[in-house]
Chain A
Amino acid sequence: MPKSLISIHDFTKEEMLHVLDVAQEFEKNKVQTLLHDKVIATLFFEPSTRTRLSFETASNRLGARVIGFSDAGNTSVSKGETLKDTIKMVSNYVDLIVMRHPLEGAARYASEVASVPVINAGDGANQHPSQTMLDLYTIRQTQGRLTDIKINMVGDLKYGRTVHSLLQAMSHFNPYFTFTAPDELKMPQEYKDFLNSKGIPYTETRELEGNLNECDILYMTRVQQERFTDPMEYEKVKNTYNLTASMLQGAKENMKILHPLPRITEIAQDVDDTPHAYYFKQAENGVYVRMAIIAYLLGYK
């Protein structure tokens, strides 16, 4: 079975650091058409803008051709084709598959039936490892290191897959966590158990103000309406946090704000003009990191 990236656990610490180094090289030298004779499929069974566009940009920058779909509605999936058959067929056409699917575990299954590497671009609320890799890249870029970083994670810590994967990836680097969330969206016990088992310290709070001056990274998240089954529950928590520029006066000079985007009300527009805002650069980094992941899985880097 070719090497795939489905879950952040699929990469060792050494592999993560290697891919980050390769990404740094791509950021310095953006045009490297290593894959000029390759075809990459982007199969998006669920809509996405950023992730799909950055994977397609990454593929194009590497010189590969891209085929795929951005909505399963007008494909054979709507005729009842199984995921297995779709993947079997596509893996005979292309050299690598990037896939997003609303069902959890779909990417792992696809990697087991595909004859080419598969990159998971999100499987429901489960994993989204390229996002985690670009978060790591951005943390290292802004702080000059990955070890001993104080991270304050804010917002939907219950359903947010990005915070769960980032927490697991950072566990290699001796972090200190603050979890800021309303009671309804607290960090699940299984992740706190994981940190306890690794001896990684954390504190939990409901308050955003008062916890902004200690951290190196402020990792904001959106409360995702699509994960709620009860609209009343969503209404109760959707506007819990609203970060404004005036709240950042006591923040450390090196402190950077990250956000997987899209943001709604959790970061006010006036924050964009502060030196702490880094989320757009973070999204740009996604291209370099995805170039590095693709090149690594295809054996070029």
Chain B
Amino acid sequence: MEKGGKELKVSAIKNGTVLDHIPASQLFKVISILGLKDCRNQITFGMNLDSKLLGKKAIIKVADRFFEETEINKVALVAPEAKINIIKNFEVVEKKVLRVPDEIVGIVKCANPKCITNHQPVPTKFSTAYENSELKLRCHYCEKNTSSDNLKIITEN
């Protein structure tokens, strides 16, 4: 399929949301953050696509689904550079820039092994802040920081 002289590696959707410029290594984290495993819509994704910006990138296209701002912003935790395009009738009608939410409930595991959330059924809760342009999640419970390099996503069983 050709569009604007560019070949599409992942076929276009008529209506829905496209998440582009995801670092290839983060694809499955994004899938898990958005809970796409349990999503019944048509989903296509591509991984290890060539990208000038990222080297290897990934892309996700979810047909007929438009995410809430608070939901989509969680993607910023693992792919802050991702681009969100809203598609209506094969056209990009809106581009969204991701912004890390001020508070994160669930999703991320606290990196402190002695934190109560790693031992008892307590949902995690963090406030976010940037320290020397690096994202830090401060645990509401143990008050320790989890930095973006040791950020682990809680995956449901």
Task: Give the interface of A toward B (CB within 8 A).
Answer: 7, 82-84, 101-106, 108-109, 123-127, 190, 193
Contact = CB atoms under 8 A, between A and B. Distances in A.
Interface stretch (B1-9, B14-22, B58-66, B117-125): B117-125
Contact of B117 (A7, A102, A105, A124): A105
B143 A105 contact: yes
Contacts of B131: 193
Contacts of A125: 114
Interface residues of B, number: 17
A68 B104 CA distance: 35
Given A84-B120, A125-B114, A105 B145 contact: no
B75 interface: no
Contacts of B144: 104, 126
A109 B140 CA distance: 9
The 9 closest A-B pairs by CB, nearest first: A105-B141, A104-B142, A105-B142, A105-B116, A103-B116, A106-B116, A108-B141, A104-B114, A124-B114
Given A7-B143, A109-B141, A126-B142, A104 B121 contact: no
Contacts of B120: 82-84, 103, 106, 109
Interface of B: 112, 114-117, 119-122, 131, 139-145
Nearest to B140: A108
A123 B120 CA distance: 14
Contacts of B145: 190
A84 B143 CA distance: 20
A125 B114 CA distance: 9
A126 B143 contact: yes
Q: Which residue of B116, B141, B143 has the most chain A CB atoms within 10 A of its CB atom?
A: B116
Nearest to A110: B116
Given A102-B114, A193-B131, 5 more contacts: A83-B120, A84-B120, A103-B120, A108-B116, A109-B120
Contacts of A83: 116, 120
B112 A104 contact: yes
B143 A127 contact: yes
Contacts of A126: 142-144
A125 B115 CA distance: 10
Contacts, number: 53
10 contacts: A102-B114, A103-B119, A104-B144, A105-B142, A106-B120, A106-B141, A108-B140, A109-B116, A123-B116, A126-B142
Nearest to B141: A105
A82 B141 contact: no
Contacts of B141: 104-106, 108-109
B124 to A, nearest CB: 10
B143 A103 contact: no
A83 B118 CA distance: 13
Contacts of A108: 116, 140-141
Contacts of A124: 114, 142
A182 to B, nearest CB: 23
Contacts of A102: 114
Contact of A103 (B115, B121, B140): B115
Contacts of B140: 105, 108
Nearest to B122: A109
A101 B144 CA distance: 17
A82 B117 CA distance: 12
B132 to A, nearest CB: 9
A84 to B, nearest CB: 7
Q: Which residue of B112, B117, B141 has the most chain A CB atoms within 10 A of its CB atom?
A: B141
B141 to A, nearest CB: 3
Contacts of A84: 120-122
A237 B118 CA distance: 30
B155 to A, nearest CB: 22
A84 B114 CA distance: 17
Nearest to A104: B142
A108 B117 CA distance: 11
A82 B131 CA distance: 35
